[in-house]
């Protein structure tokens, strides 16, 4: 059996590996500007999107990335498949393997599922989000977006704001930002912070005090169910202390930018005014997604099997 390469979390890359993918993503961003946006590099390869959670944007982004590399794409979503008939994840994975897929892009509500797939089948696994755990391509496209705007990220400060405890975007993002030499803050009410500090991340509950240090303010989606779980007393109270609005933006570093993984809750974690402002880069994030995922797919599937690309 050949040794496969995988992208399960940003740990699978070091800083050099991240930079190589980001550099390559620039080239793929250029491909996106060509009249014919499709290149033949993954012709004959098959990529399966295995999505156990509804996610239009990530799935479309991966699908477009694979198709623009000329790979064939199979879409397997939980609602439209045998999952409802009770087929186990393992049997589904073995089915995909029997069909000869080269890569499985997996999103699943349970943390660790991509690691199980790696153990069970011989295909390249890309993690498109597992539970509260990891979302490496989101972290990469966020770094790409930041680097295109700010250049070198070393020494810059980013604050992740909101439901850190349940956020895979924050988990992978904070790690990736640390790799790039950034200062990382986690800002949330105490009930939405992890129970223990994470390595190299400064926890604080005081958004207003943190703002003057921030070059990047990364807002996380606030799920309404957190209020039902009793983790915040009310959405109103959350908004009062943790929403990014024009007033708070005025206290951030000059030139600071606002990011959000989408979909946004306007009027909850982000005011409409901020969401539509030029310093909010959400559309750039989405645009980077395809190029970064092309770079990831190409790095994992483009070269010789058993090469030294990733993990």
Partner 1 sequence: MAFRERTRVMDADDIRRAVQRVAHEIVERNKGASNLVLVGIRTRGVPLSLRLAKAISSIEGTEVPVGKLDITLYRDDLHTVSTPVVRETHLPGDIEGKNLVIVDDVLYTGRSVRAAMDALMDFGRPASIQLAVLVDRGHRELPIRADYVGKNLPTSRDERVKVALTEVDGEEGVYIGEEVG
Partner 2 sequence: MPDLLIAAARVVDPFNGIDEIADVLISRGRIAKVGRGLSRDGKEVIEASGMVLSPGFLELHAHLREPGDEDAETLETGLASALRGGYTAVCCMPNTRPPLDNPAVISGLWARARDMGLADLYVIGCVTRGREGRELSDMAMMNACEARVRAFSDDGAAVEDAGVMRLALQYAAAFGGLIISHPEDTRLSRGGQVNEGAVSTALGLRGIPALAEEVVVARDILLAEETGCRLHLAHLSTARSVNMVRDAKARGVRVTAEVTPHHLVLNESDIPGYDTSYKMNPPLRTPEDVAALREGLRDGTIDAIATDHAPHRCEDKEKEFDHAPFGVVGMESAFPVLFRELVESDEIPLERLLGALTRGPAEVMDLRPPEYGAGIVVGARADMVLLNLEEEWIMDASRFVSKGRNCPFHGRSVKGRVAYTVKNGRVVYAHEDGRG
Binding residues vs partner 2 (CB under 8 A): 88-90, 108-113, 115-116, 119, 130-134, 168, 171, 194-196, 198
b/e for 45-56, b at 16 or more Cβ within 10 A?
bbbbbbbbbebe
Whether residue 298 contacts residue 39, with contact meaning beta carbons closer than 8 Å, is answered with: no
Q: State the minimum distance, in angstroms, from the CB of residue 196 to partner 1.
A: 37
Q: Mark residue 262 as left, alpha or beta (left: phi above 0; alpha: psi -120 to 50; beta: remaining).
A: left
- Residues near partner 1 (CB under 8 A) are 20, 23-24, 26-28, 30-31, 34-36, 38-41, 69, 295, 298-299, 302-309
Residue 308 CB, shortest distance to partner 2, in Å, is: 21
- Report the residue number, 166 or 293, with the smaller CB distance to partner 2: 166
Quick one: which H or E segment has residue 290?
helix 282-301
Asked whether the beta carbons of 164 and 186 are under 8 A apart, the reply is yes
User: Of 40 and 151, which CB lies nearer to partner 1 in the complex structure?
Assistant: 40
Q: Which is nearer to partner 2, 179 or 298 (CB)?
A: 179
Residue 259: name the closest of 242, 284, 292 by CA. Answer: 284
The three-state secondary structure class of 178 is helix
In the complex with partner 2, the residue whose CB is nearer, 171 or 248, is 171
Q: How far is the CB of 3 from partner 2 (least distance, A)?
A: 16
CB of 65 to partner 1, least distance (A): 13
130 contacts which partner out of partner 2, partner 1, none, CB within 5 to 8 A by kind? partner 2
- Identity of the residue, 29 or 270, whose beta carbon is nearer to partner 1 in the bound complex: 29
Residues 53, 213: Cα–Cα separation, whole Å: 36
């Amino acid at each position: 059996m050949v040794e496969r390469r995988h992208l399960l979390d940003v740990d699978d890359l070091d800083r050099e590996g991240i930079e190589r993918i980001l550099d390559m993503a620039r080239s793929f961003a250029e491909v996106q500007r060509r009249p014919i946006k499709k290149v033949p590099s993954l012709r004959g390869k098959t990529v399966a999107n295995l999505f156990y959670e509804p996610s239009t944007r990530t799935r479309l982004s991966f699908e477009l990335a694979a198709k623009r590399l000329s790979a064939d794409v199979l879409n397997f979503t939980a609602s439209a498949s045998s999952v409802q008939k009770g087929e186990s994840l393992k049997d589904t994975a073995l089915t995909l393997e029997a069909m000869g897929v080269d890569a499985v892009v997996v999103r699943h509500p349970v943390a660790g599922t991509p690691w199980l797939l790696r153990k069970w089948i011989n295909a390249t696994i890309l993690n498109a989000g597992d539970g509260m755990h990891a979302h490496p391509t989101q972290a990469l496209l966020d770094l790409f977006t930041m680097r295109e705007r700010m250049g070198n990220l070393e020494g810059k400060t980013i604050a992740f704001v909101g439901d850190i405890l349940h956020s895979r975007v924050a988990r992978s993002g904070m790690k990736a930002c640390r790799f790039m030499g950034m200062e990382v803050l986690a800002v949330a009410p105490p009930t939405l912070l992890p129970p223990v500090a994470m390595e190299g991340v400064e926890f604080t509950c005081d958004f207003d005090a943190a703002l003057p240090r921030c070059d990047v303010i990364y807002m996380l989606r606030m799920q309404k169910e957190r209020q039902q779980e009793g983790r915040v007393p009310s959405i109103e109270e959350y908004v009062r202390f943790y929403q990014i609005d024009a007033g708070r933006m005025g206290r951030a570093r000059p030139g600071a930018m606002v990011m959000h993984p989408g979909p946004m809750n306007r009027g909850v974690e982000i005011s409409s005014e901020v969401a539509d402002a030029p310093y909010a880069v959400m559309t750039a994030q989405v645009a980077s997604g395809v190029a970064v995922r092309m770079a990831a797919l190409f790095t994992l599937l483009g070269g010789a099997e058993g090469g030294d690309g990733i993990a």
